[in-house]
Structure 1
Amino acid sequence: MTFDLTTLSLGLGLAGLCCFLWPILQRINGNPQPQERSGLRSPLWWAGLVLTALAVYLQRMAAQ
């Protein structure tokens, strides 16, 4: 099974989206995160941002 850049970028984009949505799903389920770990200071938020940016970059490389 071979993976090309498009498949890799879609996987990274999905992982980035999951990093963004995880805190929202936790709050919906009634398990709020501590206030000091939420928002822009959250390592999960930064991981989501980096993974999404990497996915966009790889998608542009695959389109060329």
Structure 2
Amino acid sequence: MAELGGAAALVTEGRRETAASGALYSAAEPEREDATIRAVPYYAWDNRANGEMLVWIREEASR
């Protein structure tokens, strides 16, 4: 936690979603892969190493 200045980070397993075509907008079904999700407070995310950030997390319906 030292890198977050004592702020809590939540770590869980989830699925990463990327556009199949690599385009920002696409009608194609996105590709999904298992991934570790690390959620940190927005104020603690800035000025760290380069990385992905997602503000909203999609919820999939159970099948």
Compute the TM-score of the two structures, normalised by the length of structure 2. Answer: 0.21
More contact order relative to length (CA 8 Å, sep ≥ 6): 1
Q: Which has the higher helix share?
A: 1
Q: Which has the higher strand share?
A: 2
